[in-house]
């Protein structure tokens, strides 16, 4: 699993690449992959989620895809 941010610069959304490499939009669960996410059990919550229930994230136009980390 890889944590990603995607979207237009300054308005990126948190997401992930699932096991099939599909981009999933997790902005309904998390605001960002930031210090608060890591300090408040975000990874544990993330591990308990079913990625397939979240919508596919889409980059359009000048949107960007940024890889954050993987484990």
Average model confidence (pLDDT) across the chain: 83
Write down the pTM of the prediction.
Answer: 0.78
Q: 61 pLDDT exceeds 60?
A: no
* Domain that includes residue 33, residue range: 2-70
Say if CB 17 and CB 71 are below 8 A apart.
Answer: no
What pLDDT score does 59 carry? 56
Question: Which is more confident, 41 or 59?
Answer: 41
Q: What's the number of domains the chain is made of?
A: 1
- What is the tens place of the pLDDT at every residue in 22-34? 889 999 999 999 9
* pLDDT attached to residue 60: 53
Cα distance between residue 43 and residue 33, in whole Å: 10
pLDDT at 14 over 60: yes
């Amino acid at each position: 699993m890889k944590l990603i941010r995607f979207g237009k610069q300054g308005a990126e959304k948190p997401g992930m690449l699932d096991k099939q490499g599909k981009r999933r939009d997790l902005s309904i669960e998390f605001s960002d992959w930031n210090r608060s996410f890591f300090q408040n059990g975000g990874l544990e919550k993330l591990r308990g989620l079913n990625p397939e229930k979240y919508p596919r994230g889409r980059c359009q136009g000048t949107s960007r895809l940024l890889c954050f980390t993987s484990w």
